[in-house]
Amino acid sequence: MTTVVDATRDDFDELVSAGLVLVDVWAESCRPCVALAPRVEQIAAAHPELTVVKLDASKARRVCMAHQVRGLPTFLLLRDGEEVSRLTDPSLTPEQLDEWLATELERQHGEEK
């Protein structure tokens, strides 16, 4: 079972440098972020092909600025450190997150062929 990795500003670049990575940019003060946390854990368990990383925006402002995160929650899909997709929506539901991720994973797997 894949687990969610908590990233810091010091290890973020290393954690996202290889493979397909889903980054959950969140903050404790963001209610939608906290509400989505259980779904992020489920995603990690269901998708062993993904590295799932949580980044606390309040503790990694420079990383957020570098990735142009302007709202929470934000989900970034990275391949080998490069952004291939993003989802930012303050009213994001778990179902919308699932739908976005399924679409993006299908697209990414299609590009691997």
- pLDDT tens profile 67-80: 999 999 999 999 99
Which residues belong to the active site? Answer: 30, 33
What is the domain range of residue 37?
4-107
57 pLDDT band (50/70/90 cuts)?
Answer: very high
> 72 lies in a domain?
yes
Number of domains present in the structure of the chain: 1
pLDDT digits (tens, 9 = 90+) for 16-55: 999 999 999 999 999 999 999 999 999 999 999 999 999 9
67 assigned to some structural domain: yes
Q: Residue 1 — very low, low, confident or very high, per pLDDT cuts 50/70/90?
A: low
112, part of any domain: no
Q: Is residue 103 part of a domain?
A: yes
Give CB contacts under 8 A, 24+ apart, made by 5-8.
5/51, 5/52, 5/53, 5/54, 6/53, 6/54, 6/56, 7/53, 7/54, 7/55, 7/60, 7/63, 8/59, 8/60
Reply yes or no on whether the pLDDT at 2 is more than 80: no
